[in-house]
Amino acid sequence: EDLAARVEGLVGPKGIASFIRELEEKYGENTDKIIMEVIDAILDGKFGDFEGDLEKKIEQALRTAAAIETNAVVSAPIEGIAYVKIKQNKDGSKYLAVYFAGPIRGAGGTASAKIIVFADYIRKKVGLERYKPTEDQIRRYLEERELVHNLMARLQYYPNDEEMRTIVE
């Protein structure tokens, strides 16, 4: 019947529809503010503790955010986000890893990029570090960028080594 009902029906969590409607009354069509409050509410446990599993809670918050961002009319929140994991950097700190599948393209470029921004917001909110690539991983990215550019397709923009390091780090 409306966005809130579609979001709850598509990805949940149960009870989120009435909360989204309250936020729509408060913020109108400012979906970014709605999404941030929904993420906060899910992470703060307003819609359950997800059996104490932080990965499940993060995944729910991210899928719900993606559903709101895409008006709950594409498969991206269900199939585009394969799963999330909390992993460990070489220095022992923990980071958030979000695994995407092909249908994320159904969300469109802007929505896909915003899902990454939402994931970073979630990461910070739950106290996780950023991913810290090793020097070998950075060199691999540099080499792959070169191979893709030379052997497969000319890139519209070809970042130099320093820019590529910044992107990867």
> Three-state SS for 28?
coil
- The larger pLDDT score, comparing residue 124 to residue 158, is at 124
Reported confidence tier of residue 75, pLDDT bands at 50, 70, 90? confident
Cα–Cα distance, 42 to 64 (Å, whole number) = 9
Long-range contacts at 145-151 (CB < 8 A, ≥ 24 apart): none
98, 119 contact by CB (below 8 A):
yes
Q: What percent of the chain has pLDDT over 70?
A: 95
Cα separation of the two ends of the chain: 43
**Is a pLDDT exceeding 80 seen at residue 22?**
yes
Mean pLDDT of 11-24: 97
pLDDT at 107: 59
Average pLDDT over residues 19-34: 96
Residue carrying structure tokens 């994320």: 104
Q: What is the per-residue pLDDT for 156? A: 80
Q: Are 58 and 115 in contact (CB under 8 A)?
A: no
- The candidate with the shortest Cα–Cα distance to 97, out of 86, 88, 81, 106, is 86
pLDDT of 128 over the 80 cut: yes
